[in-house]
Amino acid sequence: MTDTAVIHLAMQAMVVAAKLCAPILLTSLLVGFGISLFQAATQIQEFTLSFVPKILAVGIAIVVSGHWMLITLVDFTHQLFRSLPGLISGG
């Protein structure tokens, strides 16, 4: 297994990880930003006001994008298993 193959494999894994995290992180970021604007405008500084909507939005994002996330992860795993003989032999 060459260093180029290891770097390529690590890069693919990081791209897949970024794709899988994106829906959850972006949803949390957008909801958090909206709640922060609301809190700044109304000067209501309640912890649950920012926590509960984020949890609900992230839960909805997981339900909506969970199927796509699972397919992406399974496809990457299948690709990895198919490439294992070539990686082990060094070809």
pTM of structure: 0.79
Using the predicted structure, report yes or no on whether residue 4 has a pLDDT greater than 90.
no
pLDDT, position 91: 59
Confidence of residue 31 (pLDDT cuts 50, 70, 90): very high
- Asked if 90 contacts 4 with a C-beta cutoff of 8 angstroms, the reply is no
Kindly write down the DSSP assignment for every residue of 5-71, as one continuous string.
HHHHHHHHHHHHHHHHHHHHHHHHHHHHHHHHHHHHHHT---HHHHHHHHHHHHHHHHHHHHHHHHH
Using the predicted structure, report yes or no on whether residue 1 has a pLDDT greater than 80.
no
Q: In this predicted model, what pLDDT tens digit does every residue of 33-80 receive, in sequence order? A: 999 999 889 888 887 788 899 999 999 999 999 999 999 999 999 999
pLDDT, position 47: 78
pLDDT, position 88: 83
Domain extents in the chain:
3-89
